[in-house]
Chains A and B, each alone.
Chain A
Amino acid sequence: MNVLHISGITKQYANKTVLNSIQCVVEAGSCFWLVGRNGAGKSTLINILADLIAPDSGTVSFGGLSYATDELAIKRNLGVLPDKNPAIPQLTGWEYLQFVGLLHELPPDECKRRAESLLAYFFDESEGVHKRIGSYSHGMTKKIGLCAALIHRPQYLILDEPFAGLDPVSSAKLVQFLQSYLTPERALFLSSHDLGYAQKIMTHIGILEGGVLQFVGSAEDFASSKHTIEESILQILQPKESNIQELNWLTQ
């Protein structure tokens, strides 16, 4: 069953087409990994899925519901970790989770229970989650954003570069969590440059290049016996030839 349907999404910035008629579907119980070069439009697509920015044309639907008609119903089941974390720097991590819980209309006791378990899982005791978010490190801010995206048990999870800034221990914990999060009725849409971690979770892959999805399919379709996933991605992205000799002044 398709739970996320992206149809004809186009977005332009100052006459530059960033996304050109993007089409794809994400099935229930699957993890869709979006990969591409820097500036390929991955974050733009994720922001459109999260209703953070509006597309010039095209539609997005979650479980058959669209933002135009069922905005709040979609957002009650949606967990998002965007590129620019919207955490409020003046609040402590604990306060921010309570605040997000209130926005999701969680009962206070339940919200506290969930916040405690999320913080216990993602943070170390030494990290001081009860400090203001403004004083958090990059990795801690990312983790509190993750906790905020998960506190209402979302059916659909959209994560933009979740591993960026995380230490190896936290990244391993996140991989373990996401593997167990994927139940048959849920879906995960993930953008990451971290091939190692993303490969452990993804079931489907989309390669974005020049504003167009150059490949969309399952991990089995993508993988071949001759090439690794990294080599296959590079084959599609076709990086220009770079001559390392040009850096002789630096390497010698």
Chain B
Amino acid sequence: MTSPDTATVADLLPDVAALQAGLDAVDYLADEGTATALFCAARLAQPVLIEGEPGVGKTQAATSLAQVLRTPLVRLQCYEGIDVAEALYEWNYPRQLLSIRLAESRGELLEDADVFGEEYLVARPLLTALRHPGPRPAVLLIDEVDRADDDFEAFLLELLADAAVTIPEIGTLRASYPPIAVLTSNRTRELHDALKRRCLFHWIDYPSAQRGAEIIRRRVPGSSRTLAEQVARTVERLRRLDLQKPPGVAEAIDWVAALELLGVRALDAGAIERTLGSALKYVEDQQVAREAGLATLVAG
């Protein structure tokens, strides 16, 4: 390490094209829309809500952004009933009780500050992201925010607006580098209008067959070009069928990895039959695919 890393976000991302190039360098192929959304989120310090079908690259976008900015990715996985204690911070009660007891038994006097100090504070993802000391803000990934409920959304809204949190025993902690918040949603329910208005919004679509093939080749290094292209086209055709869960980018990547492992060089009906479970996870979908004819799916 020669000199300390003091580049700011603006230095690393002067324009959208720079971000696209940076993402490309970490093997995330972003189209212009995705790059614009991430760029604005990073430069304007505004949260961005990314929606899209499952397996299309929403979480990966945040991960790759963190890699480009050379800053840690802090991930908060939302689920129903998640509350402040699990998301923001919690006091280590057992430890506090023990030290109180210990002090009592020794006859020592304990001050408030002794029991409410740093070593008793358990920082959860949101607090970790807020307290990140720099040189650049952390990327805070709030994954599947639609699985949390209305109460949590309201709390999140306030936090994102202020980028500060008040812990009664310690005081107000203001983020010196407000984190870049990336929220993802699977649209299982409609998010509150207030949250949606606070965020920038982007919808990631399935990639075209050609783009899909490029993504596969990046993510499965060493895969043959023909195989990647065939799988990408087959997956595109599968999506046109009436499936309960159309295969996304993640499934395509898994599929190619499985085929490579089995030493398949070119896709044919037999190879599909053996590895169909990598792409289609529902028995009914597999039946639909077989009825459509595995050979026609490859040849088109």
Are A and B physically bound partners?
Answer: no
Residues of A within 8 A of B (CB): none
The residues of B with any CB-CB pair to A shorter than 8 Å are none
